[in-house]
């Protein structure tokens, strides 16, 4: 009995060690694909003339069978923080599934280039830990966002901590702001670290 219990404890310990590594590997893999997708140029469009007298080509698919493809996960924008050597594709949403892929844009977030608060959440101790070192930012540090091919530059105004249920930090702002949120300290769910920046260009 003790022999079996020892084996079970060893297996449990290995799972505790391997699980974070698997989660990080998954997030890094997804980030690589998301960055490639959002940064690649638009595919070339075939504009060769078509003779209307020729019959249209038909795809070799079975009749009355709709072709379905799984929905493709798309990145919304790219977040770049030079001081932290961070470049990450940001997805839409802040559910557990969303944040397993990388930082996520809050549902009511504004978008870059217009007045309002671009609000992004990210993990600090799991799934890539994209926001692990946000606490190293200080007023004056630079952050940029690439959105639809345009780069928007921000400058950090302040770094502070709030309770996890303080949603005022992601509320609309009267100016072009950027807000990054994560847990504080890493793994703590009762407080959040906030980085507030202002668009400068």
> Has residue 5 been placed in a domain?
no
- Do residues 139 and 156 touch, judged by C-beta distance below 8 A? yes
Q: Which of 86, 188, 179 is nearest to 131 (CA)?
A: 86
Beta 142-147 vs 116-121: how paired, if at all? unpaired
Who wins on pLDDT, 24 or 77?
77
Instruction: Read off the tokens for 88.
Output: 């990450």
User: 36, exposed or middle or buried, with CB in 10 Å at 0-12, 13-18, 19+?
Assistant: exposed
Q: Which of 106, 178, 169, 167 is nearest to 143 (CA)?
A: 178
Instruction: Give the pLDDT of residue 32.
Output: 82
> Has residue 50 been placed in a domain?
no
CA distance 97 to 125: 15
Main-chain dihedrals φ then ψ at residue 186, nearest 5 degrees = -50, 125
Q: Which of 162, 173, 181 is nearest to 199 (CA)?
A: 173
> Has residue 36 been placed in a domain?
no
**Domain extent at residue 104:** 75-199
**pLDDT band at residue 196 using 50, 70 and 90 as cut-offs:** very high
> Has residue 160 been placed in a domain?
yes
> Has residue 179 been placed in a domain?
yes
Whole-model pTM above 0.95? no
> Has residue 147 been placed in a domain?
yes
Q: Output the domain CATH number for residue 166.
A: 2.40.260.10
> Has residue 45 been placed in a domain?
no
Contacts of 79 (CB under 8 A, 6+ apart): 86, 87, 88, 89, 90, 103, 120, 143, 144, 145
- Do residues 161 and 148 touch, judged by C-beta distance below 8 A? no
State how many domains the chain has.
1
Beta 191-199 vs 176-183: how paired, if at all? antiparallel
Which of 1-10, 78-87, 174-183 is least confident? 1-10
- Find the largest Cα–Cα distance for the chain: 82
> Has residue 17 been placed in a domain?
no
Encode pLDDT of 127-169 as tens digits: 788 999 999 999 999 999 999 999 999 999 999 999 999 999 9
Encode pLDDT of 13-69 as tens digits: 554 555 555 666 777 787 888 888 887 743 333 333 344 444 444 434 444 544 444
**177 strand-pairing partners:** 117, 198
């Amino acid at each position: 009995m003790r022999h079996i219990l020892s084996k079970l404890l060893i297996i449990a310990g290995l799972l505790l060690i391997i699980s974070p590594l698997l989660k990080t590997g998954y997030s890094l893999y997804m980030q690589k694909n998301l960055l490639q997708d959002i940064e690649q140029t638009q595919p070339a469009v075939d504009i060769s003339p078509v003779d209307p007298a020729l019959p249209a080509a038909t795809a070799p698919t079975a009749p009355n069978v709709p072709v379905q493809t799984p929905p493709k996960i798309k990145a919304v924008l790219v977040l770049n923080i030079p001081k932290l050597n961070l470049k990450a594709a940001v997805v839409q949403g802040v559910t557990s599934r969303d944040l397993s892929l990388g930082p996520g844009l809050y549902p009511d977030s504004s978008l870059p280039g217009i007045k309002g608060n671009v609000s992004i959440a990210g993990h600090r101790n799991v799934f890539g830990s994209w926001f692990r070192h946000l606490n190293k930012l200080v007023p004056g540090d630079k952050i940029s966002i690439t959105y639809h091919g345009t780069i928007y530059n921000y400058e950090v105004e302040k770094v502070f901590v709030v309770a996890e249920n303080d949603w005022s930090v992601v509320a609309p702002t009267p100016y072009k702001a950027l807000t990054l949120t994560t847990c504080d300290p890493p793994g703590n769910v009762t407080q959040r670290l906030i980085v507030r920046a202002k668009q400068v260009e």
